[in-house]
A and B are shown apart, each in its own frame.
Chain A
């Protein structure tokens, strides 16, 4: 098990290097730092001095890969690639283009993101699985049929609609909770409840349908027939046998998401004014802060790879047949 994890972590390194090269190519080779500087300065006629000045301030005035004018190792370290890309492996993200410490921002913004994302994830999972089990219990009846119809209709509605509709109904018409904002402490539930409820409702359609498919696939297997033949009640069959065996396909889709919860949700956070990583990313995109976008891309891929490893580990927990060697 330990061996396996170590090997997986080592496998992750070339992937992270690949991600780094892709972002490096996107941000520095397709468009030179000069282009970015001109874009940031934003004026039609930008003097070369202004561009050079901007580049110097943000550390983009070095050669891309190889610094011929430097001595020794700094031929390689005093370059954009080393300073901006390689350092990310040590989670050193440097300063954003507007001069703030990215690592500090990420640390402080993680909390609000998690305060929304974790409840949405946990409650959503429970609600979806319970609905799916309910529909599976009443399979091939009108309840099943209309349940699926409702699911398809709900997943055909844009996520933006749920947010805008929820804000209008709950906050504006009924005046129950503030439309947007965030605060820690006792005020937190007031701000968190609406985004969480909206997030859960928005996910019900696709989630329930997905789990229903998984359960129905299991229900048609032989061991279920055996369980019924033994005289077990349908409820016992569903909860004891089907649910346990459906854990593998469920975990495949679920565990990989868990680490990504740190990143928060772009749309929800920006609509509800929550100072999390999602709204940080949106702000960075809108103000074209490339340093932040680069850092988020890197963190996102690290978290995704962590999710993949966690998925494999979780398999061994629910399925004794799987051994990681």
Chain B
């Protein structure tokens, strides 16, 4: 085999989650009462714009979640494999990963940020800004040519983006025309005016803007460091792309690991009441009375001690970092499941008095079955709203926790680590702003999209909004 696959815990879980989502979507398809709120999400303009952006992030994150180890040398049985686990994304952006400069360089620069002593051919030494090894290496005289070269490339990439967008838009219109059995021109006008159930005009516009932004970056990154390089000369764009996976995993796996506990405990407490309720309430009140940061800090510190005293369990750095990431997800889940549990308990208390549950009792349906078949489906909207609402907060929390020193492993590329290692750079003269800028920009877009999507989901699923009738904007 040319490579050995490395299955990290988080990789497996994220694909398990993806499989669950696909399965759920397939299940919902044939059931109109379940599909109805999702239709409302799909009709929400801001929701679909956000979903488009999130999908772009998700693609990057998923590509970054397939790991393997490449062979170093040798053949057949004697082949030696690299200890470094690479992901598909790493391979796709090999140029970004491998073109490492000496130290800082500004975005799109051809010269280094720091002066260096350079030896001239005639033996004299002068202090100057040396040329970068890769950034702008295609230019003979950067001072003259750089601007023209960048303009030319940006122009070329914008044309390419527009072309690609037209192809995609035409395909969408073609499919829509086939569905509504209209002609191409009429459908295109209808979609443009927003006369479709799903706001295709908003989605296509977002896609267009995304492509107009990403194409120039992609094409420029062939010859330049678009977001500059950091202290050790790594391309900041590469670091930002790699950070996406960490953010996505923290945001999604945390809720995945806490969900079973919160569901089981919350429903049981509300359903059985009595001593079960008392003990579960005692348990979550105790947990929630410890301030979150401190509980996370205590747990992560203890896990570090555990990892240091059991080094043989973690053969590679990647696996060690991955274990720490997973543990962070679990402990974040522990701190955040209590509020969901409280909500579920309250809702179950309300539901268990309703007629249909009493009817189920009268028919002799077992407790387990009532909880699983009659209560669980009716509290799922709370779970869903909580899950999407907590995503953006978790992405932001990762940065803060990593800064405090109890976040992800220092060897793992994440927004928090990027900010943490760059926080003193603003004090330099002139300031090195690009690492922070890139980290905050990528994080801001991700969190903003997540927030908007969460709002759309909440508006579609929250019964309080639905009862209010056609004007959810007014009510909220």
Contacts and interface: CB of A to CB of B under 8 A. Distances in A.
Interface of A: 14-15, 18-19, 22-23, 26-27, 30-31, 35-36, 38-39, 139-140, 152-153, 155-161, 164, 167-168, 172, 179, 213, 216-217, 220, 260, 263, 266-267, 270, 281-282, 285-286, 288, 290, 293-294, 296-297, 300-301, 304-305
B440 A158 contact: yes
Contacts of B304: 39, 288
Contact of B297 (A157, A263, A270, A293): A293
Contacts of B443: 158
Most chain B C-beta atoms within 10 Å of own C-beta, residue among A158, A263, A267, A305? A158
Interface of B: 282-283, 285-291, 293-295, 297-299, 301-302, 304-306, 308-309, 392, 396, 399-400, 403-406, 415, 419, 423, 426-427, 431, 436, 440, 443-444, 447-448, 451-452, 455, 468, 473-476
Contacts of A158: 396, 399-400, 415, 419, 440, 443-444, 447
A305 to B, nearest CB: 6
B297 A31 contact: no
Nearest to A297: B294
A30 to B, nearest CB: 5
Nearest to B309: A35
Contact of B290 (A19, A139, A172, A270): A19
A260 B305 contact: no
Nearest to A179: B427
A281 B288 CA distance: 19
Given A30-B302, A31-B306, A140 B474 contact: yes
A160 B400 contact: yes
Contact of B475 (A38, A155, A216): A216
B286 A39 contact: no
A267 B396 contact: no
A304 B306 contact: no
B476 A300 contact: no
> Chain B binding site: helix, strand, loop or mixed by DSSP?
helix
A297 B290 contact: yes
27 contacts: A18-B286, A22-B290, A23-B298, A27-B302, A31-B302, A36-B305, A38-B308, A38-B309, A152-B452, A153-B448, A158-B444, A160-B423, A160-B440, A161-B444, A167-B426, A172-B431, A179-B427, A216-B476, A217-B475, A267-B403, A286-B405, A290-B301, A293-B298, A296-B294, A300-B290, A301-B289, A304-B290
A31 B286 contact: no
B305 A35 contact: yes
Nearest to A213: B476
Nearest to A289: B301
B308 A39 contact: yes
A296 B282 CA distance: 21
Given A30-B306, A282-B405, 8 more contacts: A140-B473, A153-B448, A164-B423, A172-B427, A270-B404, A288-B304, A293-B301, A301-B291
Given A27-B298, A281-B294, A301-B289, A160 B419 contact: yes
Contact of B400 (A140, A168, A267, A288): A267
A164 B439 CA distance: 13
A267 to B, nearest CB: 6
Contacts of B399: 158, 160
A38 B440 CA distance: 38
A288 B426 contact: no
B448 A15 contact: no
A164 B406 CA distance: 20
B475 A285 contact: no
Contacts of A23: 290, 298
B306 A35 contact: yes
B475 A18 contact: no
A140 B283 CA distance: 43
A285 B304 CA distance: 12
Given A152-B451, A297-B294, A22 B287 contact: yes
A266 B404 contact: yes
Contacts of A159: 396, 400
A22 B403 contact: no
A304 B289 CA distance: 6
Given A18-B286, A27-B298, A164 B436 contact: yes
B168 to A, nearest CB: 27
B282 A14 contact: yes
Nearest to B416: A160
Contacts of A305: 289
Contacts of A140: 473-474
CB-based closest 5 A-B pairs: A18-B286, A300-B291, A156-B448, A156-B447, A301-B289
A32 to B, nearest CB: 9
A120 to B, nearest CB: 16
Contact of B298 (A35, A153, A161, A297): A297
A15 B285 contact: yes
A156 B415 CA distance: 14
Given A140-B474, A153-B448, A159-B396, A293 B282 contact: no
Nearest to A145: B473
A216 B403 CA distance: 37
A156 B475 CA distance: 23
B289 A156 contact: no
A290 B468 CA distance: 52
Contact of A157 (B282, B406, B444): B444
Contacts of B473: 140
Contacts of B293: 266, 281
A172 B289 CA distance: 40
B164 to A, nearest CB: 28
Nearest to B396: A158
A221 B167 CA distance: 51
A282 B443 CA distance: 24
Contacts of B288: 304
Contacts of A267: 400, 403-404
A156 B448 CA distance: 5
A279 B440 CA distance: 24
A102 B46 CA distance: 51
Most chain A C-beta atoms within 10 Å of own C-beta, residue among B305, B309, B475? B305
A31 B400 CA distance: 26
Most chain B C-beta atoms within 10 Å of own C-beta, residue among A38, A39, A160? A160
B286 A19 contact: yes
B290 A26 contact: no
A304 B452 CA distance: 31
Contacts of A304: 288-291
Contact of B392 (A35, A156, A172): A156
